[in-house]
Amino acid sequence: MNTKDNGLTIRTAKPEDAKALVEIYAPYVIDTAITFEYEVPSVEEFRNRIIKTLEKYPYFIAEKDGKILGYAYAGVFKARRAYDHCVETSIYVDMNAHGQGIGRKLYETLEAELQSRGFININACISWIDEPNKHLTHQSPKFHEKLGYKKNAHFHRCGYKFGEWYDMIWMEKLLDEKYFKQSLK
């Protein structure tokens, strides 16, 4: 898949993108509680993550003027076959490119591709703290809410980073409500 809008190209990730993606991801690891990784993965580790994800799930890159500005992908929600129509999503946008609609375009492309592949339930696992601080704002839940995701779970004290505890919230979006209504009959 390759789409272009207002100079922004959304395309499928390639293993060769790993270095640029690590550069986007590193500040999230180092400076935020958005991810609970403590160490920035190596380029080789990231390359392997891209390859593994693309075996079954979509992985998209947002690029403008040859510069990668963000990425979004889906992955396994739970390993059992009964969950095969559900995915967990992740998205990271270059911190200097927030507010430009890049995340929205990535997610729109990701959701359309997921729906075309028969996925019907998208889940986002999001770090949470009641009072935002320098390591975690409420930007991600607000972003997901604008795109139609609804909060459906809150787990307390799941991750410890920067000397404090963070909660996890889960937000979900149903791609095909008709499917659920028909399957319940």
What CATH fold (topology level) applies to the domain 2-183?
Aminopeptidase (3.40.630)
What pLDDT is attached to residue 19? 98
The pLDDT profile of the chain, 185 residues, written as one tens digit per residue, is 556 667 899 999 999 999 999 999 999 999 999 999 999 999 999 999 999 999 999 999 999 999 999 999 999 999 999 999 999 999 999 999 999 999 999 999 999 999 999 999 999 999 999 999 999 999 999 999 999 999 999 999 999 999 999 999 999 999 876 655 555 44
What pLDDT is attached to residue 184? 47
- Domain extents in the chain: 2-183
Q: What angle do CA 16, 17, 22 make, to 5 degrees?
A: 125
pTM for this entry: 0.92
